[in-house]
Every structure is written in C-alpha cells, then in structure tokens.
Structure 1
C-alpha cells in the first residue's frame, strides 16, 4: 500500500517539565533528538488582580513614608502646670491676707514681713491661720449646711495649709498629672481633677463635722484612682500588665497609709479616690489593641482593622461606673443635707 502512514506519539523529556507532545515518524526528529526551542511553553499562572493592587498600594505607602500608624495623639501639657501656678498664687494671696505681724504676737520667719508664717506651734506646716483659710473658702460643714455656702466644696481644693502641704501636693500633681494630660488631654483630666476633688469634699463633709479642711489631696487621689481604672479598662494595650498593676497599687496603699497621720483628712482621700476610680472608666477608655481609626489611615491603605472600637467589657464598665458615680454623688449630697439639717 505504499509508505507506512502511522504516526507514533511520544512525550519528550518529561522529567524537565516539557510536556509538549511531538509526532515521531517519517520526516520528523527521532526520540533522541532534542525539541526545538520554538516549542510552545506553558503560560505563567497569572496573579489575581487583588494581589497586584495590594502590592501597588504597599509600594505607594512606603514612598509616602506611611509605614507606621500612630493612632494615639500626644497632647501638649499646659493645664497641669497651670493648676500648679494657680495653687501657688492662691497660697501667696492667703499669706498676704493672713498678715501675721499685724494679727499675731509672734511669727515664724519674721524677716518675710507680711508673708511670714504663723507660729510653729499653731501651724507646723508653715502657713496662714485657720481663720484666714476659713475666709478664703476652706471646707467647713456648718457654713455649708447653715450658711448655704456650697461653693466651699470646690474652693477648698485650691487652698493649702502651709508650705510643706502645697509642696507635697504640687509635686504629686506634676508627676501624676502631666503623664495623664499628655495621653488624654486637658479636657478629660481637668474635669476628672475637679469632680474627684468635689467627691472628696463631699466625703469629708459627711464624716468631719468640726474644724476646717483644705488641700488638693482629694483631687490627687482621684487621679491615682483613675490611673488604676485606666489600667484595668485598657488592659489589652499594656505590655507589662502585672508589674504596672502592682506598682500602682503599692503607691495607692502608701498614700492611704499617710492619711492615718494626725490632722490629715483621709476621708477626702478616700472620696476622691473612689470618684476618680469610677471616672477613669468613663473618661479614660481607649480603643482595643489592633483597632485603627479610619481618620488615621493613609490614603490607599487597605489593611485597616475591622475590629470594633471597644471591647464589650469596656462598654459594660463604662455604663456601670457612670451609674454608680451619679448615684453615689447624689446619695452623698442627700446624706450631707440630712445629717446637717
């Protein structure tokens, strides 16, 4: 019948991944021959469109220097130094009004003239007399209940009994307050300071019915209490959680023990601490770890977290603390009115 027209099919070099099928027969290369370089090569698998888009955006972020996100703003500190200045000015005014050389037979450090201190036996803290502090707005229950001078619940936190008193409180305010203001801003820390001081004054007025009380200690204990609640509610963003908690608890216990000393209003400390502790859950709550707000995300960045801003336990603590704070302050006000009526 003529020439054999059969065609043999054979796979050449399968071990090298060349799975091209070549015919073997008359006029074609033998099995020993290498395939031609013009043989078709499988197309490279295409990357998905989203992978290429993600790579393009990543390079764009690197070019814009947006490789690091900083969602927490650092505030400029001015309120805490301002509070320190106000307390010092008020103390100087109280010393000017006191005028020890005119109103007392003897004074401590008489070379200071009008700013000299009351005798050491009368005021060992080196400051004005009790009558001067009373005129300036010291906390006195009888004047609040009978004289309707409720403003003393606020003014007393700006007064101090002496140099040692104001020095200790202002150093504490600087060390505690500046860090809090840098992280949370002047509005929240300012409100926390004043409200905690008010809560301390309320607690003091319930248990100390005689004498006067002055000082920013209640407000300062409020800042300490807020630091504790801030640590608890923002637990997920801290690295050394246990060390921070133990250190803070030690500082709080030491300061409360100092309140056992004579002439120290520990009720104001406790009231301020409780108020600040509850306020911390309300004012100092932060987004959970891994959350990134859209306003902090650079243009073209698609890796923003889809986590909710706050964890459920943070929201629960916020609601519970706010309710307890409002109920507690109202209850203390009512108890104070009833006790002094």
Structure 2
C-alpha cells in the first residue's frame, strides 16, 4: 500500500464494479529517491472499440437481407396478410405466424438457421455458425443487439477485439452444439448464445481478476441475477434455452482462459531505475486457467463427437428437456400455445 491510502478509478462494470488501484498496482516513479506521499498508478491499456459495433452492423445487414429474400407479398397471396405491407418485399409475415415482426421459418432455414437433421444428415455443419447471425424478427434483433452493446463494448474496451471476438464466436458455437444435441425438428436462430457467452465471460473477469475490482460482490451478484432471470424466461416455449446454457457455460470457461489480467508488483525503491514493474499471475489464476482450458477442450470435443454420431441426448438425459421449456396450464412444450 502507498503511504497515504488508496485511490480508485471508476470504470464501467455493469454499473457497479470499478477498477481498483490497490497498493500492489502502484509503482513509485524513477525520479523519486524515496517513497513519496502518493504512489503513481500503472495505467491499464484501453483498447479501441470496433468489433462489437461491426458485429451489430453485420447482424442488422443479415436481417435486412433475410427480409429481402423472404418477400412476404410473393408467397402470401391473400390481401392484407403481410404486416406493414407498404414496405413491399420487406414487409413482415402475418402476426399469427411470426409475432416478432420477421420472416417465415422456411426463409430462416434457407438462410442458414440451425436444424439438427440438416447439420447431421445433410452435412451442413456450417449452420452451427450461420445461425448466430440470423434473427426471427425485429424485436428479437433489438433485444440481442442492445444486450450485445451493453455487455460487449466494455469487454472489448478492456480486453481488446481479439480475445472478445474469440469468446463471442466460440460461445455462440458452444450454444449451437448444445442446442443441436437436444432440440429436434425446430429451427433455432439468434445471437443470444454468444451474448450469454459474454455474460459468462463477464463473471469470469470478476472472479479471475478479483483483486483489481472494488464493489465486486455487488457486481457479481448483479450479473448472476441477470443470467438467472434470462434463463428463467427461457423456460417458456419457442425459446432455445439450450443455446443460452451452452453459450453461458462456454463463455464462463473461455473467460477464465482469455480474460486473465497480470498482477503488478513493486519496483525496487533502492534502485528504481534498474527495474520494471513485475508482472505476474496468482496461483489461483493459473489453476482456473488450466482447469477451464481442459474443460473447454473436453466438453467441445465430446459435444462435436456426440452430435455427428447422432447421439440422442434426450434419451441419455430424460429430464434435460425441462431446462428449455416447462409446461404449465398456460402453455405446452410441443410447440402449441
């Protein structure tokens, strides 16, 4: 610790966590012969943000292309069926078919929506990635893009586009894998698996870099609550909660692998010009890194093998279907309301 207390620099972290400059994050300047009253903080690098806005733009462009290809007036012959008909070929499917203001299920499938039989029996594994860029409607797109901006911008500013991009894409891929293992005869689209991955990575960031954040308990519980509420909504029909769960678990583990920050040491005050601050990782960080990397490799490999060997995961786990939909008096889980 410095001679006169502790200073903190606010950063965004879901509105509650702040970057904390504790004693071990300070280094005395080389011009000082002895410790002064206030140590100088080592500034963390802030990265330029461009990947998350690029992802948002890409999702919007893909949705526009999807609506152009859908061309509701061309296959809805009865007048007045398409929503917002004045948009022409960009008008939306009837409310009764798609209440999210979007295209038909067939269009989503043709554009690369995720469907188990196409992945396994028609050798279309690329759907595990393409489905991440498709959305079922305007409301679906808006919800995911707002969430992506809120969560993704902070992570990219903090860790850079390479690490955040890897976490985003691999999390979305993990969500697609789990969805394909359990969801049959349904089309799944959306960036929410990757978005849940960024939520999981945010939790990893707090845990693995625990010593450099203030108000971390509040931030951690806030994130856990957000995840729990969103997973609870996923228990309703027509929501692919397996993609959410797979993306979250993938992001949580990948966060421990890619979002680890080094701990700063002190310069030798007797000869400050001869040393640079010591950068090191704690034992806990190393353990979390190794365990998480092993789990990521094992789980992803097992999921890929099980999927392409056409393993029926629902037979292996009789109760797992309740993780995606719980029947009530108001709805059933067979696709009917």
Which TM-score bucket, shorter chain as reference?
Answer: 0.7 to 0.9
The within-5 A match list for 1:147-166 is 147-166=122-141
Task: Provide the secondary structure at the position in 1 that maps to 2:131.
Answer: helix
Deviations 1:157-202 (A, max 9, x none): 0000000000000000000000000000000001110000000000
Find out whether 1:323 has 2:294 as its counterpart: yes
Paired position in structure 1 for 2:281: 310
1:226 positional shift: 0.6
Which whole-Å deviations, capped at 9, do the CAs of 1:11-55 have from their partners, x for residues lacking one? Answer: xxxxxxxxxxxxxxxxxxxxxxxxxxxxxxxxxxxxxxxxxxx99
Mapping 1:214-233, distance limit 5 Å: 214-233=189-208
Shift of the 204–303 alpha-carbon distance from structure 1 to 2, 3 Å rule, reads same
Map of 1:335 onto structure 2: 306
| Partner residue, 1:58 | 32
Matching residue of 1:22: none
Contact persistence 1:282–1:322 (CA under 8 A): yes
TM-score w.r.t. the length of structure 2 is 0.78
CA distance in 2, matches of 1:55, 1:251: 42
After TM superposition, give the deviation of residue 302 of structure 1 in Å.
Answer: 5.6
CA distance in 2, matches of 1:160, 1:58: 58
Within the candidate set 168, 174, 177, 2:149 is matched to 174
**Partners in 2 of 1:339 and 1:293 — Cα distance?**
58
Q: From 265, 270, 273, give the equivalent of 1:291.
A: 265
Q: Distance in 2 between matches of 1:183 and 1:338?
A: 40
Which has the greater radius of gyration? 1
Q: Aligned-residue CA RMSD in angstroms?
A: 2.6
Q: What's the CA shift for 1:273?
A: 0.3
How far has the Cα of 1:141 moved from its partner?
Answer: 0.7
Within a 5 Å distance, the mapping from 1:239-258 to structure 2 comes to 239-258=214-233
Contact kept, 8 Å, 1:145 with 1:340, in 2: the verdict is no
Verify the 8 A CA contact 2:29 2:40 in the aligned structure 1.
Answer: no
CA–CA distance in structure 2, aligned partners of residues 55 and 84 of structure 1: 42
Question: Is residue 2:208 matched to residue 1:237?
Answer: no
Match of 1:80 among 52, 59, 66: 52
Equivalent residue number for residue 122 of structure 1: 97
- Residue of 254, 261, 272 corresponding to 2:247: 272
Kindly state the Cα deviation for residue 76 of structure 1 after the two structures are TM-superposed: 1.0
Cα distance, 1:152–1:250 mapped onto 2, change above 3 Å: same
Cα separation, 2, equivalents of 1:315 and 1:86 = 36
SS in 2 for 1:196: helix
Greater relative contact order (CA < 8 Å, ≥ 6 in sequence): 2
Distance 2:120 2:298 in 1: 21
* Residue 185 of structure 1, aligned match among 144, 160, 172: 160
Q: Residues 224 and 252 of structure 1 are in contact (CA less than 8 Å); yes or no, is this contact kept in structure 2? A: yes
**TM-score, with structure 1 as normaliser:** 0.77
Q: Give the Cα–Cα distance (whole angstroms) in 1 for the partners of residues 51 and 252 of structure 2.
A: 21
- Give me the whole-angstrom Cα distance separating, in 2, the residues matched to 1:93 and 1:168: 19
> Does structure 2 retain, via aligned residues, the 8 Å contact 1:226–1:278?
yes
Partner of residue 44, structure 1: none
**What corresponds to 2:61 in structure 1?**
89
| SS of equivalent residue, structure 1 residue 57 | coil
1:72 deviates by 1.5
User: Structure 1's 57 and 312: CA in aligned 2 closer, same or farther, altered over 3 A?
Assistant: same
Task: Give the total of aligned pairs.
Answer: 279
Matched, 1:70 2:45: no
